[in-house]
Chain A
Amino acid sequence: MWWSKKKQEYPDFWNTYAELFTKKLEYNLSNTTFTVLDTETTGFNFSDDRVLSIGALKLFKNAIAIDSVFDVYVEQDIYKKESIKVHGILKHTKRKLISEQEALIKFLAYVGDNIIIAHHAKFDITMINRALCRNNLPELKNKVLDTSTLYKKTLLRSNLLNQQDAYSLDELAEKYNISMKDRHTALGDAYITAVAFLKILTKLKEKRAISLKWLLKHAI
């Protein structure tokens, strides 16, 4: 058949992951597990730069269990000296490094069909998708919430007040009094993002009834 030629054979770990999305999503906010993630990269160029580390945690019923966080560091083929200095990840790390493929396998198993939360999510998701592409895999299937977009919904709109186009994670942490000690480590940023998300949700609830559907519609 003409379409079966196009159909590609994917490895088992991908099929297991993709399988999860065949069942319908349940739109129940209080019963949803979120994966909050952040990546550290060698830079901001989608084609040249690589993921250095992925940090993620699970958020379920407003709680984070520390023993089930995700924290991996990726070996690099291409070393960009400048950016490695910035993050300091490779220079003095005793962390175990794993291959990009292994990191992806682990990440897919971790994230499953959870809804992903990230700050400026498009960047992190694209970086991961590029990595998937390099390994001949399709893009992530998860639904995504972006805390930078959601934060803007907590602010009042008025023509006389100039709203910034984008709010950095630093600004959110400052506003919500979240300690910034662990900024610029993937897991540290994921934690700040998770707390910010919970606080944003509280603020939004003061204004209107919040459902998962509403969030998905307004937070991309």
Chain B
Amino acid sequence: MKNIISERVADFLKNFPPFNMIPKKELQNLAEQVTIVYHEKNSIVFAKDQTPHANFYIIHKGAVALKKIVDDETMDICDEGDIFGLRPLIANENYQLEARAYEESILYGIPIDFFKPYARNNQRISNFLLESFASNTRNPYSKENKGKLLGSLSIEDKANLELSDLQPIRYSKKLIACDPDMPAKEVAILMSKNNVGSILVVENELPIGIITDKDFRNHIVSGRFPITTPASNVMSSPVVTYSKNMTITQAQMAMMKSSISHICLTQDGTVNTKAVGILSKHDVMVSLGNNPAVLVKAIKRSKKYKHIKNIRKSVIQLLQGYLDNNIPLGLTAKIISELNDACIKKTIELSLLKMETPPPVKFAWLAIGSQGRSEQLLHTDQDNAIIFDDVSDAELPTVTNYFLKLAKHVTKGLNTIGYEYCPAEMMASNPKWCLSLQEWKNLTSHWIINPGADEVLMSSIFFDYTVSYGDKDIVNELTEHIFFNTKKYPIFYVHLAHGALQNPSPTGFFRQFLVEQDGENKDFFDIKRRALMPLADAARVLTLYHSIKAISNTWERYEKLAELEPPNAELYLSCSYAMKALLKFRTRQGLLHHDSGRYIALDQLTKEEKMKLKRTFKTIKEIQELISNRFKVANLLG
């Protein structure tokens, strides 16, 4: 029976091979037989050695990872429109790989019995299926398309996912060349037009020299030759040539050996065959893939939220690499935060393009909570706010509406690139978190002057803000206002300190770990609530107390505190260390289990890891005591 849902399914299927090879009417019939399956993140679609399902699958939304179980190697991550689970269609045997939802996913299950006749009767379909199956089910067509999404970078490509020393080089096939007697001026114009930094000089199709920007500097601008001189006077010659089949490492070595920045690739690697391309130092850098500079460039080039989502996958790989190589966490966090910031900035820029008019007044987009503290390494919730310049009362509603609309675009975009919505609605799209400077001043004053439990909670989330985008002056004015007020109402410190001591301690009376009592995470250790938050909360109180401006990162706060209070320097520095160690721990766990890393299964830790965790707990206890004494929190309880 044809119905709205089957029509919708057919509408989706018709865009993807092999379904685009099936006539419309038959596709409609097929769609009526489809089963729609929902999988939460990390749930198993099918396990290795499981008996075959009656369906194979196409991903409607989300992503599915195919894994070899033996070495836990991920063979492929299938995306929207990719098909997988083809084994029962082609061979009558059990699954060889495990399929697991990499993100929350909706799959369309295509009944194999119903589909088989199409595969049998249509050569193109059966070819496609065999090819997909052989390439470990990655859709061979979409792979090409994915590369195009990011232009020449194609960060998605699997070749780049691994350390690419032995990967073959990729070079620009668009070869720009000139004759040896072309005047230098025209050569320069040709290069500018093609936006390249080097050009090949060819005679009878064979490379005889190369001209780079540097050659113009040395030969023309220095006055040795006029700009009308032929190219042959300017070029570096002979050309260093290599075979196009060299690896990235070989290319790097070659460039170092001859101290050149460009090499010419020819058919057989000698100057006696046709040139096929030029490889620059920059190309080598790009091939090395996940380096932050390249990623930032890719982010800046993105034209859609979806592009950024793909880049963020590379950011996660970069993070994994840093952790594997034990790069200091302070540095890691800085780089990853920079990249995350760049993603957010780009998202806001893209959202601004969606607005009909430019912003009516200056504004700033604030990251709050852990994002504001640059402590968010994995994808977690988004917490943000907007502050805009003051306007007259009459204009306020229109201006507020403008920014709310903008915020809706941004939060939706952030959601697309992988930030979950905040369950507490602490987002700029909520009218409570999209305010003018004056409104923010009033609100923060209210929190500071009437510090009830809720107000303190709000302050502790909001006061870690940093500017992600926009005007810093407005934000500085708010900061001044907050410091002025906290000085005037010191009782606020006491309440904030009290709030900081609310999080339950990590160990019980017998120094055993305290684990969660309830819910999905029963018997897990909540590293965020019991270890990271107490440290972050304590740092916040002390920073406000000292009116330390513009440092919102927790371990940097402790380092600053150590400078300001030499007697307590040792404790503060160990807090700073503990914070980094714990965050690293959480991030590792998160990468391992592909989640937020917040809940830790204690029985899976080694004894050494447990000891490491426990060492930080002593520090937490000491800093909580310091806070308790300094701000006389006991009086508040009495």
Chain B associates with chain A: yes
Bound state CA distance, A87 and B61, in angstroms?
29
B430-445 CB mask vs A (1 if < 8 Å, else 0) is: 1010000000000000
Given contacts A71-B1, A188-B4, A206-B520, contact A63 B38 (CB under 8 A): yes
**B430 neighbours in A (Cβ, 8 Å):** 161
Name A187's contact: one of B4, B36, B518, B519 (CB within 8 Å): B4
**Cβ of A182 < 8 Å from any Cβ of B?**
yes
**Cβ of B575 < 8 Å from any Cβ of A?**
no
Q: Are A181 and B38 in contact (CB under 8 A)?
A: no
Q: Are B520 and A66 in contact (CB under 8 A)?
A: no
Q: Are A66 and B3 in contact (CB under 8 A)?
A: yes
Bound state CA distance, A181 and B8, in angstroms?
9
Name B415's contact: one of A161, A177, A187 (CB within 8 Å): A177
Q: Are B423 and A66 in contact (CB under 8 A)?
A: no
Q: Whole-angstrom distance from the CB of B181 to the nearest CB of chain A?
A: 61
Q: Are A62 and B39 in contact (CB under 8 A)?
A: yes
Name A158's contact: one of B40, B61, B416, B457 (CB within 8 Å): B457
Within 8 A of B (CB), among A152-199: 154-156, 158-162, 175, 177, 179, 181-182, 185, 187-188, 191, 195, 198-199
**Cβ of B21 < 8 Å from any Cβ of A?**
no
**Cβ of A203 < 8 Å from any Cβ of B?**
yes
Q: Are A198 and B38 in contact (CB under 8 A)?
A: yes
Given contacts A66-B31, A187-B3, contact A209 B109 (CB under 8 A): no
**B519 neighbours in A (Cβ, 8 Å):** 206-209
A207 — nearest CB in chain B belongs to which residue?
B519
**B38 neighbours in A (Cβ, 8 Å):** 62-63, 195, 198
**Cβ of B177 < 8 Å from any Cβ of A?**
no
**Cβ of B37 < 8 Å from any Cβ of A?**
yes
**Cβ of B263 < 8 Å from any Cβ of A?**
no
B422 — nearest CB in chain A belongs to which residue?
A156
Given A66-B32, A67-B1, A205-B40, 9 further pairs, Cβ under 8 A: A64-B35, A66-B35, A67-B33, A155-B425, A156-B423, A161-B430, A179-B8, A188-B4, A188-B8
B79-93 CB mask vs A (1 if < 8 Å, else 0) is: 000000000000000
**A128 neighbours in B (Cβ, 8 Å):** none
Q: Are B518 and A209 in contact (CB under 8 A)?
A: yes
**Cβ of A57 < 8 Å from any Cβ of B?**
yes
Bound state CA distance, A195 and B587, in angstroms?
31
**Cβ of B260 < 8 Å from any Cβ of A?**
no
**A71 neighbours in B (Cβ, 8 Å):** 1, 3-4
A residues contacting B by CB (< 8 A) are 55, 57, 62-67, 69, 71, 154-156, 158-162, 175, 177, 179, 181-182, 185, 187-188, 191, 195, 198-199, 202-203, 205-209
B100-136 CB mask vs A (1 if < 8 Å, else 0) is: 0000101001000000000000000000000000000
**A161 neighbours in B (Cβ, 8 Å):** 424-425, 430, 432
Bound state CA distance, A57 and B6, in angstroms?
12
B522 — nearest CB in chain A belongs to which residue?
A209
Question: Most chain-A CB neighbours within 10 Å: which of B4, B416, B522?
Answer: B4
Q: Are B423 and A203 in contact (CB under 8 A)?
A: yes
Q: Which 10 A-B residue pairs are closest in the complex by CB-CB distance?
A: A208-B519, A156-B424, A64-B36, A198-B38, A202-B40, A63-B37, A62-B38, A160-B454, A187-B4, A188-B4
Given contacts A155-B423, A155-B424, A209-B518, contact A66 B4 (CB under 8 A): no
**Cβ of B458 < 8 Å from any Cβ of A?**
yes
B453 — nearest CB in chain A belongs to which residue?
A159
B455 — nearest CB in chain A belongs to which residue?
A160
Q: Whole-angstrom distance from the CB of B422 to the nearest CB of chain A?
A: 9
Name A69's contact: one of B3, B61, B520 (CB within 8 Å): B3
14 contacts between A and B (CB under 8 A): A64-B36, A66-B3, A156-B423, A156-B424, A156-B425, A158-B424, A159-B454, A160-B458, A161-B425, A162-B432, A177-B61, A195-B106, A199-B104, A205-B40
Q: Are A182 and B40 in contact (CB under 8 A)?
A: no
**A57 neighbours in B (Cβ, 8 Å):** 5
**B109 neighbours in A (Cβ, 8 Å):** 63
B1-24 CB mask vs A (1 if < 8 Å, else 0) is: 101111011000000000000000
